[in-house]
Structure 1
Amino acid sequence: MYASLCSLAKAVRKFWKAVSTQESDDAVQVLLDGRKLKTPGGNPMLLPKEHAGGALMVAGEWESVQKHLKSHGLTWTSIVSRAIDTFHDGDEREKAIDKLVAFLHRDTLCYHQDHPQTFVELQEEHWKPLLQWARKRYDVEIAVTDGIFGIHQPDATVARLRAEVASFSPLKLAAFEQAVLSSKSFLISLALMERHINAQQAATAALVEVLSQTKSWGFVEDGHDLDFELIHQQLGAASCVLL
C-alpha cells in the first residue's frame, strides 16, 4: 500500500496518524506511522543528508493532508519521487532530457505578438530580459518570432543548453522538469533553476498571456485565479530544490 500512495493520490483516504523522518549515516527517510513511505516505483522516500530539508518538506506535505490525499498537495513529493524512480537511470534520464529540450522550439518566450498593446508591454517587461540573460549567460543565439509559423532553434543552441541540463543532479532535473511542464518554457525554467529569477517572477513570465487577458477583459473567478494558484504552487515547489 505504502509503495503506491503517490500514484493513487486522488483516491486514497488518509489512514495514517503520524508523519516523521528518520536519519541514518548519510540519508533521511520519511515515515508514516513509523513505516517507510515509498515512491510509486516502490523505492524508499529517501533523500541524502545534504537534502535533509527536502525530506522535511515531503513530510510537511503529508502532515498537511486532512481527510483525502490530493495530487496538487503533493507537488514536492512528486518531484522527489520522479528523481528517485527515474533520473538515476541513464536511459530514462536521457529520454526525459530529450523531451525537455524539445520545448526550446516551442518555448513561450520565443513566440511574440505585436498586439494588443498590453501583451506587447508585458513581453517587453517579462520576456525580453530573460531572453537577453539566456543569450549572454550561455553565449547562444535564440530565435524568436511574431509570425504564425513555428521556429527551430539553432543546433548549437540546443546542444549548449542540453549540456547544461544534462549536468543537473537527479533532484534538480526533476524540479526542472516540473517547472518546464507547468510554465511551458525551457528558458523560464532554466532561469529559475539558475537562481536568476524566483518562483514569483517565473510564474509572472509564464502567465503573460493570461495577465494580458485580465487587463483587457477583466479577472474571471474560478478561472484566472486557479491558473495563478496552480502555477505558483508548481513553480514554488520546483524552486524548493534550490534551498
Structure 2
Amino acid sequence: MSERKQKRFWKTTTVAEEGEGFAVALDHRRIKTPAKAALLLPTRVMAEAVAAEWDAQEEKINPLSMPVTRSANAAIDKVRHQHAEVAEMLAAYGDTDLLCYRAESPAELVARQSDQWDPALDWAHETLGARLIPHCGVIHQPQSEAALANLAAPVHRMTEFELAAFHDLVSLSGSLVLGFAAARNWRDADDIWHLSRLDEIWQEDQWGADEEAQQQVEIKRRAFLHAKRFMDLCQSTMQ
C-alpha cells in the first residue's frame, strides 16, 4: 500500500447485504482484499466488525489495528485457494496431538496432565467420535485411522473463513482437539489456551518465568483469543 493510500480518504463506513454475503463500503465504495478480490463476509456481525475497524481509523490506516479485516483477507486471498491443503495440514495434528504426549515423571506433572488433558480427550471421543490414546514419551505413536478420519472430516467441511480461524486455534495450541474444543465452546477460550501451556506453566512454577518469553506468550494468547472471536463471527446466525 502506497503512502497516499495509507491516509484516511472516506467519511462514512456502511454494511450492505450482497448476494449471500455482506460487503463493507467506504463512502459507497466496496472494500477489496489486498489481492483485489471482493471483501464479501459470510455474516452481518463479521461485516459490522470489519466496518468498525475501518471506522476507527484516524488520519492514517493502521492494518495492525484491524485483526478481523486481516483474517478475512487471509481467508479470501489465501485459504480459499488452498483449502484442501490447509485442511489436510491441520487434520494431521490429530496424529501428533499435544494432549497425547505425556511425561513419565515427576508424579505431580503426570497427575496434572491426566487431570487436565484427559477430559478434553474424553470430550473429543464423545463429541467427534475420535478416541485418541495418550502415551508416555516423545516418540511418535500412531493413532487409529478411524479416529483420525473422524477428526479430519469436519475440518475439510469448514468454510474458508472458519478454516482461517481454525488454523490459528490449532497451530497456536499445538492440538487439534483443543482447536475443536475452542471452536465448539467446550470451555472458555482462555482456559483452553492455558491447557495448551500446561507443560510450560509447570516449568515456570518450578524455575520461574522469563520476562521476554512471557511477552511472546502473551502475543500468542491474544492471537488465539482473536482466532476464537473470528470463528464466532463466522458462525453467528444474527442477521
Structure 1 length normalisation: TM-score? 0.80
Aligned to 1:204: 194
- Residues 45-88 of structure 1, C-alpha deviation per residue, up to 9 Å, x if partnerless? 2213xx111122223444556767364x4443333223223444
Write the letter of the residue equivalent to 1:232: R
Aligned to 1:215: 205
Deviation at 1:215, TM superposition (A): 1.0
Write the letter of the residue equivalent to 2:197: L
Identify if the C-alpha distance between structure 1 residues 120 and 78 changes in structure 2 by more than 3 Å, giving closer, same or farther. Answer: farther
Percent sequence identity over matched residues?
25
Aligned to 2:32: 38
**CA-atom RMSD in angstroms:** 2.9
Q: How does 1:49-88 map to 2 (within 5 A)?
A: 51-63=43-55, 69=62, 71=64, 73-88=65-80
**3-state DSSP class of the match of 1:24?**
strand
Identify if the C-alpha distance between structure 1 residues 212 and 74 changes in structure 2 by more than 3 Å, giving closer, same or farther. Answer: farther
- Which of residues 105, 111, 117 is equivalent to 1:127? 117
Distance 2:112 2:33 in 1: 40
**Does the 8 Å CA contact 1:39/1:81 hold for their aligned counterparts?**
yes
Unaligned runs of 5+ in 1: 3-10
- Which of residues 84, 102, 119 is equivalent to 1:112? 102
Distance 1:24 1:136 in 2: 38
- Which of residues 175, 184, 187 is equivalent to 2:174? 184
**Does the 8 Å CA contact 2:16/2:24 hold for their aligned counterparts?**
no
- Residues 84-132 of structure 1, C-alpha deviation per residue, up to 9 Å, x if partnerless? 234445xx21111111111112221111113345533432343111011
Structure 2 length normalisation: TM-score? 0.81
Q: How does 1:18-37 map to 2 (within 5 A)?
A: 20-26=13-19, 27-32=21-26, 35-37=29-31
